[in-house]
Structure 1
């Protein structure tokens, strides 16, 4: 493929920048990375270079495979300066492809196979590759994402590799210069189109050698590769140790979600490189069982960066792994990975720094006028080094903006605000522009905004990372929407369209309506003035309809009181306005009191709008004696959440309805999915101690008997598939036991973040509660006591501010809920589990807090009872495990067994 004038200009700029500043020999950068790897293969051909899925590839086999693939690629039309798109997940084939492309003097362009088709098309249009290389494993997924006009370029790795075996087309050595293009990584772009960062062989060689020197990496080391193929840091994980003569171990994508599998893989290497969120998971895994530390005796280096690194994480590492060399690093695609490093020597660092420049790197901190600031003053960070890339593909406007000549050297303007302390260490303060790091992912907010503005119905929008409530420490991507006044798209439509154009990590999770976009005195968008999510009206999917009768007005007023919603109309959706299982129970209680009608959770789930609930209330009032509010005969205790085949057993999700909605929607199964619950529990909440359920549900035996009645009325015979979250898991275990006693087959039992019953008993002990308070005071200091005091004052103030009638209702409701809570505790405290011989699947929340005083453990105590326990770990905490964005992970694990 012929190069363009822009390409040539970029290459010339890279070569000129390097030759004008330093001589290659003075920096030790005398050859491209591929040449170092070839030489390592000549010296130690049998040494292990790459491991994956317990299979090993030697240096000799690696280079031999790369040369064979290079011959096949050349036969397919790839030549010097061609660009080759590689659509693969990390695997040995990806490494061989990268090396083969470099052997030909061509350019490696990795594309994540999970990207939306629209994003892949934009990248291919910019690159105009000679070949698009795919793996054989993901062929169906990839073929469907490649635009038709590029499909002729799509080739299977296996076919190209086999073609390279032809003796008539042997591999030929190609000259390779440091000024040649190495790779192009596409990052989030402010224009709504991803931008391609063009790196040269010089940039790559500098990045690998400089980092290897700073972190003292050598042929005795091995590193775990976890980065996705589309992230520029993957070059460090895939190439730095190969260039140094060491080894790399590639983690399968599914294993990254399994903390035990990830830890097992990490225990086999000497160098870790993780973003803070992933590293934090591993450290928590170590803390949960300190004996695991002994498995890390070979670990020598831990590198972390790419996002804010919490100081407490560094403290934990220093405490758990004191012999390990710990580093914080900083860099960008435009600087060929890392440019700074900070050896964490302090046992308890109070701040996180990005440290000092790596070898051959110069840093400047400039104010808005381009003047260098003094120590302790903040400014934008500028980087100059042989690693700074030539520029962006087809973006001359951005090249002029981001790459600048200062005192005869070429610098990259990072957009990151920093300052230098008295010791000369750099400290990161945040972004100067609209680019953020969220969960280790680099996101251009303007790209997300541009995408959303292209959706009909949206006049303008601002996207920001926000904590959704005061109790949360983690941010989510939130879209503030200014509607254009037309009917427009629903929230579901907006999300669907965004997912078709953006990677999942760039799709906002919450959409809020605003009347105007906040601006500063210069008329620019002022993100600091965006309201808190709790102060905004969440966008609703349904068309607004006016309230038409007294019952609708009464129901709407109840919603406003329970949900704090400003605008409730006849077509409003209860769960879109923030309704959850707790508020649904309160809604049922209110309707029972004010409308003299009993509704069930199933009624609320099946009738989610004001109009639907009002119509149901009206029907119940006309069809029953309104004085017989205790009647539960209309409630069967189950609700179908997902329809499926009638000839196979359904999946029964026990002890809940609302919290299982997202899971049922996400499950890919031919089975019907039902929520199973007890109508008696609702009667208990409505009536409190006066309910007969106060005695029938105060033991696990009584609860099990009631659930057996509901389940067998729905499904008279097995095989049964049972699962339950939290307390529902304990019920699933006991119901399964009773079903087997009756001669039925139980084919599946699932526990969703369920701890064993004895864990709850710690709450009965006064000394446990005191100990917990002391621990929190020790960890958080006086702040913990102040927060507890302020929280108690806030609740008291809120109670005193309520009208007396509402306060009375709250008192009665609270008493009844406390009665129900006590009845539930009685059932738990009297539970005595026995051994379980059949397989049990436990799906544990990865970020769970130890809510009930249980000792931290991988199995939540179930190995004591289960002879065949299968454990998975899914993202989220105990409350969020089945919420949107996280329920799909639970669904994938369930699908393996049902």
Structure 2
């Protein structure tokens, strides 16, 4: 027992014991305090514990017990936090699996950690889960972890009979980049986690009044300090929303929205936040009392800017620490007189020790430069399944007559006169890029797998404080342009490595210069500036003043020497951090307020320039029509062939649009698919039109023939709107399928239906289609009509659309369509229960909060119980909310889920 800290209701001993015991002490003292706040609501300490118990019970039923590893393939969310607590309660070990990682990398981590079960959000089950657990030889299983756990029956501690957990047992394994070409798992014990939590609480003065932002992804150990210390004080964790906001300064908006008091940010993110506040003339949000910056060297210039932006007292801290020391080990808190040129990394936190040793492991004194070693109970146990790496990194040595277990950081440092540590960089070739520690050897091992690569070396270039990965590559001699080779290798790496580990530049050489000892002679390598950037399009020079300005801006931000107007910002090495920098520069240099979301939608110079010209009043495009035609030609070359046509269905002619792959038509006998899209009706037709149009293009790019059509009397089709019934819609769909068969020669046709279109597709004869995707289906036609009638009434009376309150006229209308009694009866009778059999050919794709009715919840529960295929995404369509009825919605996860259902066909030769 080494100290104490106070909460609202009790004094809790700082024992270095298992986290579940510390958690139990806290939640029983503050059961009604708010523990978690997210965009979906809030949870008290007792509710969070109940959710953790429900997850633990589910895990136990699958056989999970002490010292077994549980994978966590989840987004930031309340259930993710509950799941981590649940795993630890069982004496098991949680292992974060970043959904953004390539599947091959995740597969290695699952195998290396012998993960028996993966807790995952449902929208990752199809693209990730089935690839990790689908192998017949795999003993791993996937459990969907979502808000359904919140509604689970209460499970008490007595019911579960949790096992006794030793402080020496593992709490989690965090995978980091490994020098052997594979990631390595850092093993953190419960005693180490407790050590860090208590040090964090004392150093940062964490209190029950704090609202700490959970900003980081779970695979980065900043998430550990964002979650666990606040939960041991009675404080509140605010989970960062999944969707991007429309605000220029998203982080400040988020802080204000949730009254956040404490933020932990990777240095690069903090630098960009400061720049954005400067650019927009904003101040540090008034609610912030704690700002922790960590991950890499802090710019003193940015700290000065922060001071000018901050009008109230804030505890500002520069933290340092590798994952092997459980998050952070040292902290520097500058005083009012701080005026050094470099930002120190501070002094060891409570129970941590730091030593600076020479090459003979002798202790160095003030001002002497050596290697930094860390010690104390927070050190990791070692690297999972890697005794060789553990032995090399964790050493036993004598310090001042006492044996110490030390972790070799590989960082150069020296003691300053005031007892703080001055950081001097890396001793080896490891690269610190943004928040990540990267072992170049891991990237090199993957580069060398490329069939044309003979040898490689990965390093970095640094310009104006920004680091970029550079790959030096020796390739087989062939008639390949360097630009093509760079593109091929980059695309190869994107399939196997996280995005942050894919180099931005590629320097091609015949062979590597070697020293007399056979090692690569690094000083003799060409300059990184000679490297080429992987690009998908041929270079096209800027044509207008706006394009020239953007090219110069992007070249500066990306450190890329030549950028064409059709190059993609993100394929050139751009990231969300660099997008923020572009937005800040546009504000300060051009006084243009560009939301980050708008930049993501226009990632080329040509598209971004057109968008900026539209935003700038009185500034039209300054380019010739010939240039505009060329832009359109380049764009069209990326699109499928589109053909508009009519076909007969009953007594009506229906309008249809067919999308065909441009590179090669698919004919009879091909393995490519033909797909019919089935729209909704009324205002939902308008809301979904652009999305289905874009989805059709994506499917066609994947090699499929696609048909979109309008029902009789809707859109451009002929007919009488009042006579459109469910039976007529089904007939229209069947005739659309037959029309597509005639046009393509492909007999097996699939269907994708949205909303009522999904319900129609589910209720036609099951033999009609080879495969059916139901996207946000309407469970009850009656409820659908009631909702749309409500929208119609609100539009007439709310003064949001008209200047005066209007009354419904003599014609029966339903927000976008004319109605009749026959039509109402027919549509209200639509029900998914009419589907005779939702077998394996049917897949349901759902957006978040797709339908909040009890009827829909019961239908969904029945699908899950019957093991019918359901994919839930984080996309938000908000069909039931009238404020969104005039808005388009974004559905990237739904697109990916649907595209994965059909894959990329092989063309007939």
Fold shared, TM-score > 0.5 on shorter chain: yes
1:489-504 equivalence runs, <5 A: 490-504=485-499
Cα distance change on mapping 1:181 and 1:641 into 2, 3 Å: same
Q: What displacement does 1:282 show?
A: 2.4
Q: What displacement does 1:189 show?
A: 0.3
Q: What displacement does 1:75 show?
A: 1.2
1:420-440 residue CA offsets vs partner (Å, 9 max, x unmatched): 111111111111122211122
| Alignment root-mean-square deviation, CA | 4.1
CA–CA distance in 1 between the matches of 2:479 and 2:252?
A: 50
Task: Give the corresponding residue for 1:409.
Answer: 404
CA contact 2:505–2:531 (8 Å) conserved in 1: no
Q: What displacement does 1:127 show?
A: 0.8
1:176-206 residue CA offsets vs partner (Å, 9 max, x unmatched): 2211110000000000111001111001111
1:22-79 residue CA offsets vs partner (Å, 9 max, x unmatched): xxx9993343232222222211211100111151011010011111211221111011
Task: Give the corresponding residue for 1:61.
Answer: 47
Q: Which one of the candidate residues 80, 84, 104 is aligned to 2:66?
A: 80
Q: What displacement does 1:417 show?
A: 1.2
**For structure 2, which runs of at least 5 residues remain unmatched after alignment?**
1-10, 538-559, 568-603, 605-623, 645-655, 659-692, 699-714, 717-800, 802-884, 897-909
Q: Which one of the candidate residues 31, 35, 38 is aligned to 1:49?
A: 35
CA contact 1:251–1:262 (8 Å) conserved in 2: no
Task: Give the corresponding residue for 1:11.
Answer: none
Cα distance change on mapping 1:220 and 1:456 into 2, 3 Å: same
2:360 is the counterpart of 1:369: yes
CA–CA distance in 2 between the matches of 1:189 and 1:73?
A: 30
CA–CA distance in 2 between the matches of 1:361 and 1:26?
A: 21
Q: What displacement does 1:582 show?
A: 12
CA contact 2:413–2:422 (8 Å) conserved in 1: yes
Task: Give the corresponding residue for 1:619.
Answer: none
CA–CA distance in 1 between the matches of 2:629 and 2:353?
A: 72
1:167-566 equivalence runs, <5 A: 170-255=159-244, 260-267=249-256, 268-290=259-281, 292-293=283-284, 296-321=285-310, 322-346=312-336, 348-407=339-398, 408-467=403-462, 473-485=465-477, 490-520=485-515, 522-535=517-530
CA contact 2:487–2:534 (8 Å) conserved in 1: no
CA–CA distance in 2 between the matches of 1:531 and 1:194?
A: 29
Task: Give the corresponding residue for 1:103.
Answer: 89
1:74-153 equivalence runs, <5 A: 74-147=60-133, 148=135, 149-150=137-138, 152-153=140-141
CA contact 1:116–1:145 (8 Å) conserved in 2: no
1:762-794 residue CA offsets vs partner (Å, 9 max, x unmatched): xxxxxxxxxxxxxxxxxxxxxxxxxxxxxxxxx
CA contact 2:119–2:143 (8 Å) conserved in 1: yes
Cα distance change on mapping 1:536 and 1:181 into 2, 3 Å: closer
Cα distance change on mapping 1:649 and 1:518 into 2, 3 Å: farther
Task: Give the corresponding residue for 2:638.
Answer: 642
Task: Give the corresponding residue for 1:824.
Answer: none
1:650-708 residue CA offsets vs partner (Å, 9 max, x unmatched): 9xxxxxxxxxxxxxxxx965469xxxxxxxxxxxxxxxxxxxxxxxxxxxxxxxxxxxx
CA–CA distance in 2 between the matches of 1:631 and 1:260?
A: 36
CA–CA distance in 2 between the matches of 1:130 and 1:311?
A: 47
CA contact 2:351–2:376 (8 Å) conserved in 1: yes
CA–CA distance in 2 between the matches of 1:245 and 1:166?
A: 22
Cα distance change on mapping 1:637 and 1:152 into 2, 3 Å: closer
Q: What displacement does 1:118 show?
A: 0.6
Cα distance change on mapping 1:442 and 1:257 into 2, 3 Å: farther
Cα distance change on mapping 1:168 and 1:243 into 2, 3 Å: closer
Q: What displacement does 1:86 show?
A: 1.2
**For structure 1, which runs of at least 5 residues remain unmatched after alignment?**
1-24, 543-575, 584-604, 606-629, 651-666, 673-717, 720-836, 838-867, 873-887, 893-898
> Higher mean Cα deviation, 283-292 or 160-169?
160-169
1:326-370 residue CA offsets vs partner (Å, 9 max, x unmatched): 100001110011100000224655211101111111111122232
Q: What displacement does 1:134 show?
A: 1.1
Q: Which one of the candidate residues 131, 143, 168 is aligned to 1:155?
A: 143
Task: Give the corresponding residue for 1:857.
Answer: none
Cα distance change on mapping 1:164 and 1:507 into 2, 3 Å: farther
CA–CA distance in 2 between the matches of 1:185 and 1:457?
A: 33
Cα distance change on mapping 1:171 and 1:54 into 2, 3 Å: same
Cα distance change on mapping 1:634 and 1:387 into 2, 3 Å: closer
CA–CA distance in 1 between the matches of 2:630 and 2:477?
A: 44
1:505-529 residue CA offsets vs partner (Å, 9 max, x unmatched): 1011221112332445654334444
Q: What displacement does 1:633 show?
A: 13
CA contact 2:176–2:184 (8 Å) conserved in 1: yes
CA–CA distance in 1 between the matches of 2:246 and 2:173?
A: 28
> Higher mean Cα deviation, 242-251 or 30-39?
30-39
Cα distance change on mapping 1:127 and 1:668 into 2, 3 Å: farther
Cα distance change on mapping 1:174 and 1:580 into 2, 3 Å: same
CA–CA distance in 1 between the matches of 2:260 and 2:171?
A: 28
CA–CA distance in 2 between the matches of 1:451 and 1:643?
A: 32
CA–CA distance in 1 between the matches of 2:206 and 2:216?
A: 19
Cα distance change on mapping 1:579 and 1:337 into 2, 3 Å: closer
Q: Which structure shows the bigger proportion of residues in helix conformation?
A: 1
CA–CA distance in 1 between the matches of 2:411 and 2:16?
A: 31
CA contact 2:506–2:531 (8 Å) conserved in 1: no
CA contact 2:125–2:142 (8 Å) conserved in 1: no
Q: What displacement does 1:254 show?
A: 3.6
